[in-house]
Amino acid sequence: MAAGDIETFQRNGIWFNRIQGESHTLGSSFETQEEAVKVGRGAAVARQVAHSVRTEEGPSTDDSVYDRHPRDLIG
């Protein structure tokens, strides 16, 4: 992941989004991963950057659409 990409992550059971390389979160917190991913993905598309999802244990092993660059999804 490069600086400026969007990361969705969990901390103490609460989901957040942040811009990679920055310490503060982007927007509000979320009760579910699904809500956070939806907002994080939208932010990544708007900024034309990559989006990834992490759990407290580390990076997600899910190779879903959320790990792909938004430009790869346009077709």
| E-assigned strand segments in the chain | 6-11, 14-19, 51-55, 58-59
SS3 category, 35: helix
Domain that holds residue 54: 6-73
pLDDT at 1: 63
Any domain includes 1? no
Residues 6+ apart with CB under 8 A from 69: 49, 50
| 29-45 confidence digits (pLDDT tens) | 999 999 999 999 999 99
User: Quick one: what percent of the chain has pLDDT higher than 70?
Assistant: 72
| 10 falls within a domain | yes
Total number of domains constituting the chain: 1
Residue 26 has pLDDT above 50, yes or no: yes
**Is the per-residue pLDDT at 23 higher than 60?**
yes
Under 8 Å between Cβ of 21 and 34: no
Residue 21 pLDDT grade (very low, low, confident, very high; cuts 50, 70, 90): confident
